[in-house]
């Protein structure tokens, strides 16, 4: 699906559905066209077989050995994210900087709740900081 301006759409307007007309809007000279919503005819069942459950449990056990207890990690992560949002510059940050800080706080919480010697945590912190640095130049 290609984006187009409303003026370009006029000749093709008869091909648009009512829903597409509703979700196509012109904002400050820029046309924003959201994709059609996905409609499922029947719900997709969740895996319930024993082998799948066992593999999920194995993955969770492996993650816990690196990331720590999920509940402790979540509490630390949410507390850190609350603190950074209290900073006076939070409203001035770009979406990329905010997302990087959120992800860095997640990595810091994993260092505090899990294996602090796991290089992946520290590599990820460097990676997110690097992504923000690239947006500043």
Q: Do 84 and 77 meet the contact criterion of CB atoms below 8 Å apart?
A: no
Same domain for 112 and 73: yes
**Residue 92 pLDDT > 60:** yes
Q: What is the average pLDDT score of the chain?
A: 79
Q: Which two tokens stand for residue 96?
A: 């990329």
pTM score above 0.75: no
Question: Does any domain span residue 44?
Answer: no
Number of domains in the chain: 2
In 3D space, the residue among 43, 21, 49 whose CA is nearest the CA of residue 34 turns out to be 21
Question: Does any domain span residue 6?
Answer: yes
Q: How far apart are CA 24 and CA 75, in angstroms?
A: 40
Confidence band, pLDDT 50/70/90 cuts, at residue 25: low
Question: Does any domain span residue 28?
Answer: yes
Same domain for 76 and 30: no
Same domain for 132 and 73: yes
The share of the chain scoring above pLDDT 70, in percent, equals 64
Q: Which pLDDT score, from 0 to 100, does residue 72 have?
A: 95
Same domain for 129 and 77: yes
Task: Determine the structural domain holding residue 99 and report its residue range.
Answer: 68-136
**Residue 4 pLDDT > 60:** no
């Amino acid at each position: 699906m290609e984006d187009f301006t409303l003026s370009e759409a006029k000749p093709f307007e008869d091909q648009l559905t009512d829903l597409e007309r509703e979700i196509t809007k012109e904002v400050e000279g820029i046309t924003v066209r959201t994709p059609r919503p996905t409609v499922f005819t029947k719900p997709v069942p969740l895996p319930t077989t024993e082998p799948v459950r066992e593999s999920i449990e194995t993955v969770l056990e492996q993650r816990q050995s690196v990331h720590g207890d999920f509940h402790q990690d979540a509490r630390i992560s949410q507390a850190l994210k609350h603190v950074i949002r209290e900073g006076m510059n939070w409203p001035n940050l770009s979406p990329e900087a905010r997302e990087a800080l959120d992800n860095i706080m997640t990595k810091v919480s994993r260092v505090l709740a899990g294996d602090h010697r796991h290089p992946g945590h520290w590599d990820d912190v460097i990676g997110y900081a690097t992504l923000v640095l690239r947006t500043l130049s």
